[in-house]
């Protein structure tokens, strides 16, 4: 599981965009977004760097990331 701190998320559209970006590289990924904490938890077989890049490509800066 990965935990990422992602900036510039503020609404349901942001949640959907981040989820769609991650699931574009791993359709079976489980994505949990906490807008208040700016945290995204991802359970995926994709590499952390690929998940981070997908989120950034969707327009959301990844501030911090870690495998947990």
Q: In what order do the strands lie in the sheet with 2-6?
A: 30-34, 39-43, 2-6, 62-67
The CATH number fitting domain 2-67, selected from 3.30.70.100, 3.40.50.1820, 3.40.640.10, 1.10.10.10: 3.30.70.100
CA–CA dist 36, 53 (Å, integer): 22
Degrees (nearest 5) of the Cα angle 12, 27, 59?
Answer: 45
Low-confidence ranges of the chain (pLDDT < 70): none
pLDDT computed for residue 22 by the predictor: 98
CA–CA dist 50, 52 (Å, integer): 5
pLDDT computed for residue 31 by the predictor: 98
Whole-prediction pTM: 0.96
Maximum distance among all alpha carbons in the chain? 27
């Amino acid at each position: 599981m990965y935990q990422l701190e992602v900036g510039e998320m503020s609404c349901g559209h942001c949640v959907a965009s981040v989820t769609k970006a991650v699931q574009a590289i791993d359709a079976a990924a489980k994505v949990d977004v906490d807008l208040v904490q700016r945290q995204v938890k991802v359970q995926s077989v994709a590499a952390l760097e690929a998940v981070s890049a997908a989120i950034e490509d969707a327009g959301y800066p990844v501030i911090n990331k870690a495998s947990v």
